[in-house]
Amino acid sequence: ELGDDGKKMTIVATKGSFDMAYPPLILASTAAAFGWDVVVFHTFWGLDILHEEKSADLKLSAVGNPNMPLPNSIAALPGMDRMATKMMQKKIDENGTATIQELIDLSLEQGVDLQACQMTIELMDYDEDDFYDGVTTGVGAATALQHMAESDVQLLV
């Protein structure tokens, strides 16, 4: 049931890197905790967040990230993405921050509709069984646009 204000939010998740998995899941689960009707439409690389196997191995890109304390020439060296990911995972563990899996579970428990773009499923040759239980598969752009049109808040992440 919707909260007192009946707000709706649609988030479009287009990036599937380790650091970009967090914003849509944190925002979605927080809005749902306030009683909002929340949809997160995952498309292109964002679909990997919902893919059970791939989400366990998301990487943080060190190249082109202006907040990395490394110049791009060093960040581009082999193994730097793996190292940056391990450093961020360690920081998350030490801080007690929820994991991606925990945020997916929390979002689903709170009624967030985590949607997988059908066109991208076909494009990436994924099987619908590859996604976490509770993920809505077979969603097209028209359905996502309809929810966006009805939403108070629309975000592209």
Percent of the chain with pLDDT over 70: 91
Query: Which of the four CATH numbers 3.30.930.10, 3.40.1260.10, 3.40.50.1370, 3.30.1330.50 does domain 8-156 have?
Result: 3.40.1260.10
pLDDT digits (tens, 9 = 90+) for 75-125: 777 877 888 888 888 999 999 999 999 999 999 999 999 999 999 999 999
128 pLDDT exceeds 60?
Answer: yes
pLDDT at 139 over 70: yes
Per the prediction, the chain carries an average pLDDT of: 90
Q: Under DSSP, is residue 121 helix (H, G, I), strand (E, B) or coil?
A: helix
Highest mean pLDDT among 1-5, 88-92, 132-136: 132-136
Q: Note whether 116 and 94 are within 8 A (CB).
A: no
Report the pLDDT value the prediction gives residue 56, as an integer from 0 to 100. 92
pLDDT of the residue at 99: 93
For residues 79 and 73, which has the higher predicted lDDT (pLDDT)?
Answer: 79
Residue 31, class by beta-carbon neighbours within 10 Å (0-12 exposed, 13-18 middle, 19+ buried)?
buried
Q: From CA 19, how far away is CA 3, in angstroms rounded?
A: 30
pLDDT of residue 4: 53
Q: What are the sequence ranges of the domains in the chain?
A: 8-156
Burial (CB count <10 Å: 0-12, 13-18, 19+), residue 124: middle
User: What do you get for the CA distance between the two ends of the chain, in Å?
Assistant: 26
Report in angstroms the alpha-carbon separations of 33 from 37, 41, 59, 104, 108. Answer: 10, 19, 28, 14, 11
DSSP state, residue 114: E
Region for 95 from its dihedrals, namely left if φ exceeds 0, alpha if ψ lies in -120 to 50, beta otherwise: alpha
